[in-house]
Amino acid sequence: TRDSIFVLSHQNPFLYTFNYNLTQLHNTVCDSIRQHLKCPFSFIIDGNDNFIVSNYSNNNIVIFNNTGRLLHTLTDSISRPFGVSLNSNGGIIVVTNNHLLIF
């Protein structure tokens, strides 16, 4: 994953993977993951190659491993998350319309 370019489509929840020559390698988000996503806005890849996705219309953050298995869903106090990042301790930073949350 470190040598790839990822493109997230929030209207049609897919995460496309490309190599540096812009040749599409594969669609990371398989059908089993699509059921968990509704208008994903952003994502980040953590140190374990897990995908952490801000899931705007479902009011949550979903975490998938690099094979597409759902690992965890964060819902506590999250409303319309549109940004996600990691802090230096590995904590998940979530930006919503009104708050900055750290998990």
**pLDDT score recorded for residue 69:** 85
* pLDDT score, position 11: 66
Place of tokens 């479902």: 58
**pLDDT digit string, tens, across residues 46-94:** 989 888 999 888 999 999 887 778 899 999 889 999 899 999 998 999 9
**Is the separation of the CB atoms in 40 and 52 below 8 Å?**
no
The pLDDT assigned to 74 comes to 93
> What is the structure's pLDDT at 83?
92
pLDDT tens across 7-46, in order?
666 666 666 666 666 665 555 555 556 677 888 888 888 9
